[in-house]
Structure 1
């Protein structure tokens, strides 16, 4: 107010009145703030525990009722599955929110679902760090990171990242599903086409692989942490022991437990036998494509077999893409073998739950060259078979009792191949030991998680407790 106006108060009175008005306004604002925060779920610090402020679910304790149990904080390394990705993305767009190989999501999701999320808070440990979040255990799912030192540059950056995490944390580390990326021809000098037939695919080749010192240092740090190393199967386990480390647990991939039905294998076996018995040319077949290595000639005979004896022979078949390179393989099938697939026969999934649901709705059988494309099918209750072209796929399939055929012995003759003969002859006894193997692996997880104080997913715990 300006001095001298009608009704003006003395200067001292103006100041006192202003203070009163400010105090009233501040009180009103504070009350509004409390109301807004109450509606948003906030409570004053006196009513909130430190764990609640860190993001876990907590509630004010009510006398006479048990207090809410605090979740165990477990470090997580890798892709997170807190939210579903947006739909409608192209393959190239999906790579930005998922992975360059959509199959990687299947094993990562399997590892994410190993724990009981009602008792566990997964805390992402994201590079470049610092990795200072307090955690009691670290869950580190990884894929085919181990390889001969001569090829180390391809995995150097990732190795340094996980080694940095392992050295920074003090909690036990659970390394889940580590595998090797060693092709049959890398060890035996075979080529990309017919030369592969001369190679041998026995696991004795592990003795010729020498790991880089950084990879050995990473594995040793996991061992020293008091955690455990879970490998894909025998080949990778042999690499670990060959590096002078303690024996690993060869349990396969955690995607084995996405479906918790204790009789899943029996159901898959019945469906498999029905497919073989029917020999229906209208079979709703899903095909996963082989990886075409850029440093090798295209596998001409294999591509011709796909074009003429599989995709061309079954008009109701579809292709399930897992990488952008698979689109190049489709182009090769068109340019060299005249195969054209309309858009409705080409599919891809970059969300695991959609993948499982999609295969359950569309297909009677999955056949092809991608282990995690096959695992998505099995978890959907759809029988499938994978053809292994390297030690990684071979050892994974054998570790989980998944129907498989070694490409070197699979009789994939492009002039004579018959899918149903292949299913009967090359994959005899499909799913015979699948349920028993799942129970066996689940029991190992139950034992080791109990040792580390980790809450195992109830569905896996039920599998471990089930009987055949």
Structure 2
């Protein structure tokens, strides 16, 4: 039996409340991360092997030698499903993960990593992450046969950095291989109408997308916006607007019509997400995993690709897409649906899957699609699991969402995590980093000094109390003796 440590916010079966998901950032800022993490989990969860989620603690803080020693001792393989990780705002986390990998001796396999740049796909936009990317990939290739990347752009970037092309396997995003090589998607209706159920996903930072979203909501009364990131979840749970989006037409504040009409949803588990999207006629928008979730649910979807990462994935998987770096003209959903031809996607799936499976086998990872593998444990656990329902807005007409928030607050406030009954327990927690000179080390030293002073004070007070009790008892004996002596003398 092999033990595999998987980079994942949680395993696919553990239900975590939406409030706790947000407070502890279980989905790593975006629920779309669960799609590729749990798809990899499903692929590798074969008997008798054991899989453990690292809760992405490997990149939330700098690694220590103790962290690496524990992983080397307890696990046989470190499997790292990734996304668009070669980007500037992920550089510090990639640095932490790199430092950990450099200290490991066990095999380490990276699955589906990608670079992020504007739609023109210039390497100049990646200047800020060149050094950390070079270190990361070098550390991985010392511990694996190859690295799995999302698409041609990412492969070309790594070759540009000097890595051999035969060590870089283009495998796309593992999320799309959840159902294996035979998954196909077909149209449900011939044409869309006013009563059609539509799913919209979007990236609020894309220029002009607010006007696009508001217009779509007005034209299509049965359209639902499905959010994905932590700002969306905070908005739905607590009514807090996105702090970095100023566009009043974007559905990023509680005054937006989509919020007021309770036409926004967010799912903290993939399985309930798939169930919801399976009920839609068509899904479209700028979010890669928002559209992938629809395709995995069997619903046609069209990607509005706005940068290199979404474009290279759509091209590799031959997903229906069109380049849409900004929204400066009206968009017709009827035209989008008419352009959604799934023939190429369905035809490409078996060959793309074979590449993915070959990559896993090249790196010594057994998977459920190999002959004779027992994958029943995953299917049984998933069938037995229960997940939270979709998160609605606070404007839900039956006030159930407000009551749910009050119930959570009644148990514990957001900052009082230690006593919260729904706290998510990390399955592979690691000691708090206390490297020399770190803020954590200084706080620990201050805490220990305070405890020491308190203990010394307690010891001093205890000694004084003992002396007082002794002196009081002695005084009592003296008084008794004197009284007895007096009585004897009188007698």
TM-score (norm 2): 0.64
In 2, Cα distance between equivalents of 1:235 and 1:421: 29
1:414-440, Cα deviation, whole Å (9 max, x unpaired) = 2xx321123324x4xx22122332211
Aligned to 1:322: 228
CA offset digits 1:266-303 (Å, max 9, x no partner):
xx2333xx3xx32311110010122317xxxxx23x32
Separation in structure 2 between the aligned mates of residue 446 and residue 336 of structure 1, nearest angstrom: 45
Give, in angstroms, the shift of residue 95 of structure 1: 6.0
Question: What SS does the corresponding residue of 1:374 show, helix, strand or coil?
Answer: helix
Deviation, structure 1 residue 374: 0.8
Can you list the C-alpha shifts for 1:70-118, whole angstroms capped at 9, x where unaligned?
x22223223231542234x359736633331111121211222221332
Number of the residue aligned with 1:86? 16
Confirm whether residue 418 of structure 1 aligns to residue 332 of structure 2.
yes
1:371 shift after superposition:
0.5
2:217/2:258 contact within 8 Å kept:
no
Q: Secondary structure at the match of 1:318?
A: strand
CA distance in 2, matches of 1:336, 1:121: 44
RMSD over aligned CA atoms reads 3.0
2:346 to 435, 440, 449: 435
Task: Name the CA shift for 1:206/1:342 in 2 (closer, same or farther; >3 Å).
Answer: same
Corresponding residue for residue 224 of structure 1: 142
Q: Does 1:449 align with 2:360?
A: yes
Secondary structure, counterpart of 1:212 in structure 2 = helix
Shifted more, 388-397 versus 217-226: the winner is 217-226
d(CA) in 2 for partners of 1:284 and 1:83? Answer: 29
Counterpart selection for 2:288 from 366, 371, 384: 371
Give CA-to-partner distance per residue, 1:293-351, whole Å, 9 cap, x none: 7xxxxx23x3212212x111110111101124344369644789974544531110011
Helix, strand or coil at the partner of 1:157: helix
Partner of 1:165: 100
More displaced stretch, 162-171 vs 380-389: 162-171
Residue 92 to residue 255, structure 1, CA distance change in 2 (3 Å): closer
1:380-395 alignment runs, 5 A limit: 380-395=297-312
1:461/1:346 CA distance change after superposition, 3 Å: farther
Q: What residue in structure 2 maps to residue 281 of structure 1?
A: 194
Query: What displacement does 1:252 show?
Result: 1.0
Q: Does 1:304 align with 2:204?
A: no
Matched residues, number: 347
Cα distance change of structure 1 residues 250 and 398 upon mapping to structure 2, 3 Å threshold: same
Q: Which runs of 5+ in 2 are unaligned?
A: 236-241, 374-491
- Indicate the structure whose relative CO is greater, using CA pairs within 8 Å and at least 6 residues apart: 2
Is the partner of 2:218 in helix, strand or coil?
coil
Gaps of 5+ in 1: 1-70, 185-200, 294-298, 463-468
CA 1:99–1:460: 2 relative to 1, 3 Å = farther
Q: 1:232 to 1:291 in 2, by over 3 A?
A: farther
Tell me, in whole angstroms, the C-alpha distance in 2 between the residues paired with 1:172 and 1:346.
Answer: 42
Counterpart-to-counterpart distance in 2, 1:338 and 1:454 = 47
TM-score normalised by structure 1 residue count: 0.67
Report the 3-state secondary structure (helix = DSSP H, G, I; strand = E; otherwise coil) of the residue aligned with 2:3.
strand
The within-5 A match list for 1:137-156 is 137-147=77-87, 151=88, 154-156=89-91
Cα distance in structure 1, aligned partners of 2:306 and 2:8: 26
Contact 2:180 2:369 in 1 (8 A): no
